[in-house]
Amino acid sequence: MDWLAIVSIVLMGIAIFMFVYGWRKQSQMLIFLGGLAFITPIFYLIGWGVLAPLVPVIAMLFLIYAKRRFDSKKTA
């Protein structure tokens, strides 16, 4: 396993922590950055580097989903 793959796996671990922490604190920026930092290494590791420009869009979808969940909890 090369060093870049190891660093990518470490980044994915940090990204999961950021995503969960952002979810608990209802911080949209941490959720977005955590999703972004999680999806980018996955695309690299499976060889889909060509789809890397779509990563922010996918992270934004995570954010929209989380925002809807936050809003539904406030009204209930």
Digit-coded pLDDT (tens) for 33-60: 888 888 888 888 888 888 888 888 888 8
pLDDT classification of 76: cutoffs 50, 70, 90: low
- How many domains is the chain partitioned into structurally? 1
Task: Give the span between the Cα atoms of 28 and 32, in whole angstroms.
Answer: 6
| Tokens coding 11 | 């980044």
- pTM metric for this prediction: 0.73
State residue 52's pLDDT score. 82
Its domain, for residue 10, covers: 3-75
